[in-house]
């Protein structure tokens, strides 16, 4: 009986030692939230809008069938045509990431990352710092078959009692050689606030 009690006591001590007793630093008014929850703090562009746009556009493009054979796509940053600050690079990155996860496309260095690619090739080929057999050769970058570009615009209406914001996001896939738009889609979002 005593041996059974001792074993139970040891197990209880070990179990309590494994629990997380780390203190939480910071304000008690801050907590983690669900990143997929609908965010309606203001009627300005927010995380829910970004997620809806990225998911809708990715699904539409992946299901269009135009990306058969995993073509190389160059992604251009979304143009912000609204009156508010929107980090359009994050919209672009979300769409690119979700398309990458579907496995329907490969991506060339985009217009903002091209200089980093060129700098790396120069460093490897001209610095003399790298073993020749491991150096990436110039002239072997793969050109994009398609260019993916888009824009976001908004219309804001106000009255004494309401503020209405209408967002329109447009995205198109253009064949680089022919210049023809091969796919286009839009996502519209309306947010209304009662004052």
Over residues 19-30, the pLDDT tens digits come to: 555 665 666 776
Give the integer Cα–Cα distance in Å for 124 and 134. 9
Bigger pLDDT: 5 or 132? 132
- The bridge status of strand 162-175 relative to strand 146-158 is antiparallel
Return the percentage of the chain with pLDDT > 70, whole number.
Answer: 77
The DSSP letter of residue 140 is -
Q: What is the mean pLDDT of residues 91-118?
A: 86
Q: What is the mean pLDDT of residues 35-55?
A: 72
Q: What is the dihedral of CA 135, 139, 145, 148, to 10 degrees?
A: 70
Angle, vertex CA 148, rays to CA 146 and CA 153, nearest 5: 155
Q: Nearest-CA neighbor of 106 among 132, 68, 140, 77?
A: 68
- Give the model's pLDDT for residue 5: 52
For residue 83, give the H/E element and its range: none
Q: What is the mean pLDDT of residues 54-66?
A: 90
Give the model's confidence band at 173: pLDDT under 50 very low, under 70 low, under 90 confident, else very high.
very high
| CB-based contact 186:169 (threshold 8 Å) | yes
pLDDT at 9 over 60: no
| CB-based contact 144:74 (threshold 8 Å) | yes
pLDDT at 62 over 60: yes
Give the model's confidence band at 12: pLDDT under 50 very low, under 70 low, under 90 confident, else very high.
low
Give the integer Cα–Cα distance in Å for 147 and 114. 14
The string of pLDDT tens digits covering residues 135-159 is 898 888 889 999 999 999 998 888 8
Alpha helices in the chain (DSSP H): 2-18, 47-63, 88-102, 114-126
Q: Give SS3 for 100.
A: helix
Q: What is the dihedral of CA 178, 179, 181, 186, to 10 degrees?
A: 160
Mean pLDDT, the chain, as a whole number?
82
Bigger pLDDT: 162 or 171? 171
pTM: 0.72
Residue 159 CB partners (closer than 8 Å, separation 6+): none
- Give the model's pLDDT for residue 161: 85
């Amino acid at each position: 009986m005593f041996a059974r009690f001792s074993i139970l006591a040891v197990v209880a001590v070990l179990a309590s030692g494994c629990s997380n007793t780390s203190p939480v630093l910071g304000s008690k008014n801050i907590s983690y939230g669900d990143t997929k929850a609908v965010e309606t703090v203001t009627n300005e562009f927010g995380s829910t809008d970004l997620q809806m746009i990225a998911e809708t556009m990715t699904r539409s493009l992946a299901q269009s069938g135009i990306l058969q054979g995993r073509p190389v796509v160059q992604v251009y940053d979304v143009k912000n045509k609204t009156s508010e600050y929107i980090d359009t690079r994050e919209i672009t990155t979300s769409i690119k990431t979700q398309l990458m996860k579907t496995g329907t496309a490969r991506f060339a260095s985009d217009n903002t990352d091209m200089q980093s690619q060129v700098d790396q090739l120069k460093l490897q080929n001209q610095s003399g710092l790298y073993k020749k057999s491991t150096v990436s050769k110039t002239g072997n970058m793969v050109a994009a078959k398609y260019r993916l570009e888009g824009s976001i615009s908004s219309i804001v209406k106000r009255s004494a009692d309401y503020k209405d914001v209408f967002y329109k996001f447009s995205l198109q896939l253009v064949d680089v050689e022919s210049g023809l738009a091969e796919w286009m889609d839009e996502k519209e979002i309306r947010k209304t606030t009662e004052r």
